[in-house]
Chain A
Amino acid sequence: MSKPVVATASLAGCFGCHMSVLDIDDRILQLIDLVEFNKSPVDDIKTFTKTCDIGIIEGGCCNSENVENLKEFRKHCKILISLGECAIMGGLPAMRNGIPVKECMEEAYYNCPTIDKNDPKIMPNDDELPMILDRVYPLHEIVKIDYYLPGCPPRADLIWEALVALITGKELSLPYEVLKFD
């Protein structure tokens, strides 16, 4: 049997969830033996070159690019996993959800104390910059998600156990301590 194919992405996340994957430490060498990586920052494959078995996504959607990227993943992955708070609920970036985007921008670019009050008021606005969404959306509001791994970030042991269970079909045994929401 050929190795299961895995793809990963970071949308509006902090990359902490990917770092937590690295925290499986030397088991990373086993992981490389167990699976084949496709589109992922891990190996720099930029576009899907085949259908993947498992897609793992960190971060919610805060701009239009995130949404496109997520839909691509749904199209190419048989199983899609929301990894961490941001993917599951929007996380820290979603703290802006009750506030109009305009106010957030004004605070950063007009009211900021390091900006010279005599400067002309400038707001970043360029064709090269993507559109910011009205609020930050969790993944399952945009596409169907198959599994959720909680934590900010999810503990390395949780990620490892879940992946091994998925790949080998073994039943998941999760000690209480690794299931956390912080």
Chain B
Amino acid sequence: MSRKITIEPVTRVEGHGKVTIHMDDAGKVSQTRFHIVEFRGFERFAQGRPYWEMPVLVQRLCGICPVSHHLAAAKAIDVIAGAGTGEGLTPTGEKMRRLMHYGQMFQSHALHFFHLVSPDLLFGADGDPAIRNVIGVALMHKDLAVQGVMMRKFGQEIILATAGKKIHGTGAIPGGINKNLSVAERDSFLKGADPLNIEKMVSWAQGALDFFKDYHSKNKELIDDFAVFPSNHLSLVRKDGALDLYHGVLRAVDTDGKKILNDVDYQDYLTYIGEEVRSWSYMKFPYLKSLGKEKGWYTVGPLARLNTADFIPTPLAQKEFEIYKAYTKGKVNNMSMHMHWARLIELLHSAEVIRDLLNDKDLQGDNLVAKGPKKKEGVGLVEAPRGTLFHHYRVNDNDQVEMANLIVSTTNNNEPMNQAVNYVANWAFNGKKEITEGMMNRVEMAIRAYDPCLSCATHALGQMPLEIELLGAGGIMLDRKRR
């Protein structure tokens, strides 16, 4: 008798995910699917709006990392406003945006580590779900909770100073930025009362990384052997191959480290990237056209970025990058759980970049906006905390948006998340008649490694809720578990 198992994370952010696992007559897993059940329709209702509204509109698709949408949209409309792609901005415009972006990266990665990952590390993956959440951390490890809260606060204050608001700001405008950083604002970040200053943030970021490395050395099996599968990896890199989260060229490597997208201009992304629709999910499946739909899928995010980049352009993070790279002998890293390690290296890097920027006089400049001959179409890309984010707009003669196309980070990771779920299902569910807590937990862990936006806030705030149903032929419920 064939069966179907449904795992339903009920909470939603950008979407609401659901996993179904089909079993054949012999009780073997025959098919797994990770469905996205949310649909907004932005591509259509953006039409007719003036293009300069895009940076403030689109960010409202996701309040978890609104700055990423704000800046990707701003970069696309820079092109339309004739300000070029990244290099065309004034030094003050470009650096203020970078500060905003790295502030966002810092708060997002810190939130992820302290609110999501630390409960698992402190209470164990099989710890009581009732306390294995951020409230449990706050009650039992107050010092750590305070660190998490303060690191997030620091990042949010940077966003406030550059974007005007902590969530859904208005700082980036066509061709630049609407304010610079005052000396008073700068000094509050450089010399703020303990702990709210950049030196403390750098040392806390280093501390979080050391905490993780120590955990890793004692729990090798969990971190190294779970949900490992070959993948291609894609991200922006700086022209010289350095890690860059704000601007660069598109690079992709295959699982052997061979470049399959060689530092191309992302304005031409349509030449390289395609998307497939599948009837069972509202989320599309992107792929590299040169490799086709079957083989062309790729991973984005911290793991992918540390696979594509040649080096990290800040000293502390570069040292950590070398240790990280040596662990895989320089080879491409396909271990899903190493995403957490890579994320923490980026956290440290972001703190260093923020420190460098704060000491840069260009932030007090007053040439804020660049202009040039208008264009009809523009593409904007940034590396969001969760991976490459594409925005593409075309406008008509009245400056109204005529076409909008977005590929968000979580969409880029659609196939890898499906692969991870499939890996876990084959490993944990084959031949099983009942669902155990451990099985649910494994599926959850596999999805969580990707920090998908549809549940990242849930993760940030607690554990992803799951519902699993075992259905027999004819839809008769055999077993049902929920937590």
A-facing mask of B28-68, CB < 8 A → 1, else 0?
Answer: 00000101011111011101000000000100111110100
Say if the beta carbon of A123 comes within 8 Å of chain B: yes
Q: Provide the residues of chain A in CB contact with B66, threshold 8 Å.
A: 14, 16
Bound state CA distance, A105 and B152, in angstroms? 37
Say if the beta carbon of B150 comes within 8 Å of chain A: yes
Given A23-B166, A123-B277, A124-B277, are A104 and B44 neighbors across the interface (CB < 8 Å)?
Answer: yes
Bound state CA distance, A104 and B38, in angstroms? 13
Q: How many of B's residues come within 8 Å of A, CB to CB?
A: 73
Given A13-B63, A15-B64, A25-B149, are A113 and B403 neighbors across the interface (CB < 8 Å)?
Answer: yes
Q: Provide the residues of chain A in CB contact with B11, threshold 8 Å.
A: 10, 41
Given A113-B403, A122-B279, A128-B37, are A104 and B138 neighbors across the interface (CB < 8 Å)?
Answer: no
Say if the beta carbon of A95 comes within 8 Å of chain B: yes
Within 8 A of B (CB), among A62-120: 62-63, 65, 91-93, 95-96, 99, 101, 103-109, 111-116, 119
Bound state CA distance, A37 and B286, in angstroms? 39
Say if the beta carbon of B282 comes within 8 Å of chain A: yes
Bound state CA distance, A104 and B39, in angstroms? 9
Can you list 15 A-B contacts (CB < 8 A)? Answer: A10-B13, A14-B66, A19-B167, A20-B63, A32-B135, A46-B10, A105-B39, A108-B44, A109-B277, A114-B274, A114-B275, A124-B39, A128-B6, A128-B35, A153-B167
Given A15-B13, A25-B149, A46-B483, are A153 and B168 neighbors across the interface (CB < 8 Å)?
Answer: yes
B-facing mask of A22-58, CB < 8 A → 1, else 0?
Answer: 1101101100100001001111101100000000000
Q: Is there an interface contact between B167 and A122, defined as CB atoms closer than 8 Å?
A: no
Highest count of chain A CB atoms <10 Å: which of B39, B57, B62, B284: B39
Within 8 A of A (CB), among B126-158: 129, 133-135, 138-139, 142, 145-146, 149-150, 152-153, 156
B-facing mask of A143-182, CB < 8 A → 1, else 0?
Answer: 0000000001100100000000000000000000000001
Given A10-B13, A41-B11, A92-B61, are A107 and B462 neighbors across the interface (CB < 8 Å)?
Answer: no
Q: How many of A's residues come within 8 Å of B, CB to CB?
A: 61
Q: Is there an interface contact between B135 and A22, defined as CB atoms closer than 8 Å?
A: no
Say if the beta carbon of B278 comes within 8 Å of chain A: yes
Q: Provide the residues of chain A in CB contact with B129, threshold 8 Å.
A: 44
Given A10-B13, A26-B146, are A42 and B462 neighbors across the interface (CB < 8 Å)?
Answer: yes
Q: Is there an interface contact between B40 and A93, defined as CB atoms closer than 8 Å?
A: yes
Say if the beta carbon of B242 comes within 8 Å of chain A: no
Say if the beta carbon of B276 comes within 8 Å of chain A: yes
The 4 closest A-B pairs by CB, nearest first: A16-B63, A104-B41, A107-B44, A14-B63
Say if the beta carbon of A139 comes within 8 Å of chain B: no
Could you say which of B14-22, B81-89, B171-179, B250-258 contacts chain A? B14-22
Bound state CA distance, A128 and B19, in angstroms? 9
B403 to chain A: closest residue by CB:
A113
Q: Is there an interface contact between B463 and A44, defined as CB atoms closer than 8 Å?
A: yes
Give chain B nearest CB distance to A65 CB in angstroms: 7
Given A16-B168, A46-B10, are A105 and B60 neighbors across the interface (CB < 8 Å)?
Answer: no
Partner of A124, one of B13, B33, B281: B281
Q: Is there an interface contact between B41 and A129, defined as CB atoms closer than 8 Å?
A: no
Q: Is there an interface contact between A96 and B45, defined as CB atoms closer than 8 Å?
A: yes
Say if the beta carbon of B270 comes within 8 Å of chain A: yes
Q: Is there an interface contact between B133 and A46, defined as CB atoms closer than 8 Å?
A: no
Say if the beta carbon of B392 comes within 8 Å of chain A: yes
A27 to chain B: closest residue by CB:
B149
Partner of A26, one of B133, B134, B149, B457: B149
Partner of A16, one of B167, B276, B277: B167
Partner of A119, one of B20, B134, B145, B276: B276
Q: Is there an interface contact between A41 and B37, defined as CB atoms closer than 8 Å?
A: no
Q: Provide the residues of chain A in CB contact with B134, threshold 8 Å.
A: 42
Given A104-B44, A128-B35, are A19 and B281 neighbors across the interface (CB < 8 Å)?
Answer: no
Q: Is there an interface contact between B280 and A108, defined as CB atoms closer than 8 Å?
A: no
Q: Provide the residues of chain B in CB contact with A26, threshold 8 Å.
A: 146, 149-150, 153
B465 to chain A: closest residue by CB:
A46
Q: Is there an interface contact between A122 and B277, defined as CB atoms closer than 8 Å?
A: yes
Given A15-B64, A18-B461, A32-B138, are A122 and B278 neighbors across the interface (CB < 8 Å)?
Answer: yes
Q: Provide the residues of chain B in CB contact with A61, threshold 8 Å.
A: none
Bound state CA distance, A105 and B64, in angstroms? 25
Bound state CA distance, A28 and B458, in angstroms? 17
Q: Is there an interface contact between A108 and B41, defined as CB atoms closer than 8 Å?
A: yes
Say if the beta carbon of A125 comes within 8 Å of chain B: yes
B56 to chain A: closest residue by CB:
A182
Q: Provide the residues of chain A in CB contact with B325, threshold 8 Å.
A: none
